[in-house]
Homo-oligomer: A and B are copies of this chain.
């Protein structure tokens, strides 16, 4: 039950892009250097954000990644799910219908309390992440950080 470390990476990458002037672009190599991360692997993870429609990529010199939408329109949940997927933490394998204590199917029409509560908890997690946008993150930055990011990355 852990987010892949690459989730942290892309969250920071997205946060950095959001600090640039609108439409600002940074290459995978530049971002890897900025955070001291393995360039090849980071590049591969960033591609997942492109597939998810959060980043736009351009090839060639002066190319790289930029946000596909306004920072206020990209939530942390979208970024996390682009890397980690949308499959639930808890998957009910209907073990109550197997083995000696197998319950008859007519008792399994609806999800039991276990599965319901586990999914509800998961929804609470997702809902909380869906409330926060990249713009919120940038706005919460300490004074001077954004200027520095632009200097180094821009």
A binding-site residues for B, Cβ under 8 Å: 1-5, 7-9, 11-12, 15-16, 32-37, 76, 84-85, 87, 89-93, 95-96, 98-101, 103, 107, 112-114, 117-118, 120-122, 124-129, 132, 136-137, 140-142, 144-145, 148-149, 152-153
Contacts and interface: CB of A to CB of B under 8 A. Distances in A.
Given A1-B4, A34-B100, A100-B152, 13 more contacts: A1-B2, A1-B3, A8-B92, A9-B95, A15-B114, A16-B101, A36-B100, A76-B117, A103-B145, A112-B140, A113-B132, A120-B128, A124-B125
A95 B36 contact: yes
Contact of A121 (B32, B129, B148): B129
A140 to B, nearest CB: 4
A128 B117 contact: yes
A107 B145 contact: yes
A106 to B, nearest CB: 9
Contact of A113 (B5, B103, B136): B136
B99 A33 contact: yes
